Amino acid sequence: MRRGKPGIRRVFTSLFTGLLSGPVSLLLAGLAPLLFAGCGEPGLDFSEGVPLAITFDDLPWTGGTDGIGRGAALERTDRLIDQLEARDVPAVGLVTCRNLLSDGGAIRRWRQAGFELGNHSYNHFDLNRTDPAEWLDDVRKCHDRLHALTRDSIRWFRYPMLHEGATVEVRDSVARALTGMGYRNAHVTIDNSEWVLARAYDQAVRGRDSLRAAEVADAYVEHLVEAGRHFRAVARERFGRETGQVLLLHANRLAVDHVGTAIDALVADGFVIRSLPEVMTDPVFLEPDGYVGPRGLSWLYRVEPAIDDDPWDEAAEAAIVERFGGS
């Protein structure tokens, strides 16, 4: 296993993007509309494919590490990291701090391998169901925990369940507070239902049903490819061009066993893997947020004027549930 020696591209990406944190990133965000005005093309390079950032929610392990033990948690973390390193994937891991081992061992493995981390809150509270002040306290609690473990400046935040506020007041006040903490929203464009498949996979593995597990794994790869195609089509329809894309995955057993195959399939289907900071330079991420409501949506739907409906996503999840069981 390779440890502590990230790929050359990741090293230079980390050095470059480190310069874009804090006040400098805010300045560049303000200048970006002027820099891109009249260009008609994003600053990203699309010549080799559609730039795709890979992100994982709920690090170090979806559902927490208590049920699997320290040894298994570290072993699975290493296997997931190995698949990413083998493909030079500069992934970002969004940490749910309640899932951490007491010493933060799994998260330290991610950092030692050169991957950037982000804040996904401490308790994964739903902003739709939690007082905003309490919700922000929970975010700060995870912020402090991550800083104590890594001594890093954590710049990415992702909302649990992609719920960003059901009213204008909540949405805007929380967004201002997160900006004041130094965070940038790690938007998702390729939302999907891999988490439903992950539950079916866990059941198959626990039941030692290898045929069922293989069937779920194949469906996982197919579903992510279909999701990538769908949201590329949404981008072309809404913005008249391809945009950078951000894929949401979770740190689960299905990813540990098969995310490499899924990434290979996405690349074969026209994507090129890039870092989250690179992909977020696409002007689409500077568009105003037009959505107010309770749903967790792809950023491509939140952009003003927002679309509060995704028949593909609902149909895809329904098909998975019908085939493999409840969500």
Of the candidates 164, 194, 162, 160, which has an alpha carbon nearest to the alpha carbon of residue 179?
Answer: 164
Residue 102 has pLDDT above 90, yes or no: no
Q: The CATH number of the domain where 80 resides is what?
A: 3.20.20.370
Q: Flag the least confident range among 60-64, 135-139, 216-220, 315-319.
A: 60-64
Q: How far is CA 208 from CA 214, 286, 324, in A?
A: 11, 47, 16
82, 88 contact by CB (below 8 A): no
pLDDT, tens only, 110-129:
999 999 999 999 999 999 99
> Which residue carries 């938007």 as its tokens?
187
Residue 151 has pLDDT above 90, yes or no: no
Is 40 inside any structural domain? no
Strand 271-273 to 245-250 pairing:
unpaired
pLDDT, tens only, 199-250:
999 999 999 999 999 999 999 999 999 999 999 999 999 999 999 999 999 9
Is 168 inside any structural domain? yes
Percent of the chain with pLDDT over 70: 85
Percent of the chain with pLDDT over 90: 76
Of the candidates 90, 114, 80, 93, which has an alpha carbon nearest to the alpha carbon of residue 72?
Answer: 80
Is 249 inside any structural domain? yes
> Which residue carries 């309640």 as its tokens?
98
Is 63 inside any structural domain? yes
Alpha-carbon span 13 to 1, nearest angstrom: 22
Alpha-carbon span 246 to 278, nearest angstrom: 11
Is 144 inside any structural domain? yes
Give the pLDDT score at 72.
85
* Pure H helices in the chain: 8-18, 23-36, 70-86, 105-112, 132-150, 168-180, 194-206, 210-239, 253-268, 276-279, 299-302, 311-324
- Across 11-40, average pLDDT: 40
| Letter string b/e over residues 54-76, b meaning 16 or more CB atoms within 10 A of that residue's CB | bbbbbbbbbbebeeeeeeebbeb
> Which residue carries 């020696």 as its tokens?
5
Quote the number of domains for the chain. Answer: 1
CA 287, 293, 298 angle in degrees (round to 5)? 50
Is 232 inside any structural domain? yes
Tokens (6 digits) for 258: 């098969």
Tokens (6 digits) for 257: 């066993």
| Letter string b/e over residues 121-154, b meaning 16 or more CB atoms within 10 A of that residue's CB | bbbbbebbebebeebbebbebbbebbeebbeeeb
Half-sphere exposure of 301 (CA within 13 A, CB side): 20
Mean pLDDT, the chain, integer: 87
Could you tell me the residue range of the domain that residue 57 belongs to? 46-324
Alpha-carbon span 195 to 327, nearest angstrom: 8
Radius of gyration of the chain from its Cα atoms, rounded to whole angstroms: 19
- Across 184-208, average pLDDT: 96
Amino acid making up residue 227: A
Q: Flag the least confident range among 37-41, 184-188, 231-235.
A: 37-41
How buried is residue 265: exposed, middle or buried, by Cβ count under 10 Å (0-12/13-18/19+)? middle
Alpha-carbon span 44 to 50, nearest angstrom: 9
Give the pLDDT score at 70.
80
Is 26 inside any structural domain? no
Is 9 inside any structural domain? no
Task: Tell me if residue 310 falls in helix, strand or coil.
Answer: coil
Alpha-carbon span 150 to 145, nearest angstrom: 9
Residue 109 has pLDDT above 60, yes or no: yes
Residue 66 has pLDDT above 90, yes or no: no
287, 277 contact by CB (below 8 A): no
- Across 31-37, average pLDDT: 37
Residue 19 has pLDDT above 80, yes or no: no
Give the pLDDT score at 34.
36
Alpha-carbon span 48 to 30, nearest angstrom: 29
